[in-house]
Amino acid sequence: MLHLTGTYECKIDAKGRLMLPAALKKQLLPEIEDGFVLKRAVFDQCLELYPMSEWKEMMLKINKLNRFKKKNNDFIRRFTAGVKIIEVDAAGRLLVPKDLFNFAGLQKEVVLSSQMTIVELWDKKKYEQVIGNSADDFASLAEEVMGDRDEQL
C-alpha cells in the first residue's frame, strides 16, 4: 500500500499543465506507468489525485453498494462526477482538465498535499485559508479523532 508524504508548492499554467515536484514524483514512480484518476474532492473545493491502484481499490468498495437504494446511487453519481483518467507525460507533467481546473478555482500557485494514499491539489490561497481556519480547532479535533485510542501510536 502506498503511503505518500509531503506538501509541495508549485505552479500550474493557464492550460492546466503542472510539473510534479521531484520528491513527489519519486514516491509515485511505481504508479506513474498505470496512470491516475483526478476527481473533485468530497468535502472541499480541491481535487484528489488517485494512483490507479488506489482508485481500483476504491471502486471495489463502491461496487459493493446496493444500486437499488437511491442514496447509494446518488452517492456513486456524485462521487464519480467529473472523474478523469490522466497520465504523467515524459517531462513529468500532468494536465488538469479545464472543468476540474475551474471547480478547484486554481490560479498560478498550487499546493499538492499528500493524504496517505492520494494527493490533494489545492489553489494555494484556498489551502492556506483552510489550514489557517482550522488551526484553532485542531487540538480539539485531534483529541476527538485520536484521543480515545489506548494503543501506542
Per-residue cell: 98: 479545464
Name the average pLDDT for the chain: 92
> Can you give the residue range of the structural domain that contains 78?
7-146
Which pLDDT score is estimated for 141?
Answer: 76
CATH code (residue 125): 3.40.1550.20
User: What does 36-82 look like in DSSP terms, one character per residue?
Assistant: EEEEE-SSSSSEEEEEHHHHHHHHHHHTTS-TTSHHHHHHHHHHTTT
Long-range CB pairs of 50-58 (<8 Å, 24+ gap) are 50/117, 50/118, 51/2, 51/117, 51/118, 52/85, 53/2, 54/2, 54/117, 54/118
With respect to residue 62, please indicate whether it lies within any of the assigned structural domains: yes
Which pLDDT score is estimated for 135?
Answer: 57
Length of the chain: 153
If one counts the domains in the chain, the total is 1
With respect to residue 2, please indicate whether it lies within any of the assigned structural domains: no
With respect to residue 110, please indicate whether it lies within any of the assigned structural domains: yes
Asked if 106 and 96 count as a contact pair (C-beta separation under 8 A), the reply is: yes
* The pLDDT of residue 152 is above 70: no
Tens-digit pLDDT profile for residues 33-91: 999 999 999 999 999 999 999 999 999 999 999 999 999 999 999 999 999 999 999 89
Q: Is 10 helix (H, G, I), strand (E, B) or coil?
A: strand
Query: Which residue has 472523474 as its cell numbers?
Result: 83
Which pLDDT score is estimated for 69?
Answer: 96
Question: Which DSSP category does 25 fall into?
Answer: H
With respect to residue 78, please indicate whether it lies within any of the assigned structural domains: yes
With respect to residue 54, please indicate whether it lies within any of the assigned structural domains: yes
Backbone angles phi, psi at 36, to 5 degrees: -140, 165
With respect to residue 38, please indicate whether it lies within any of the assigned structural domains: yes
With respect to residue 50, please indicate whether it lies within any of the assigned structural domains: yes
pTM: 0.90
Backbone angles phi, psi at 93, to 5 degrees: -105, 155
User: What does 115-152 look like in DSSP terms, one character per residue?
Assistant: EBTEEEEEEHHHHHHHHHHTTTTHHHHHHHHHTT--S-
Rounded Cα distance, 102 and 20, in Å = 20
With respect to residue 76, please indicate whether it lies within any of the assigned structural domains: yes
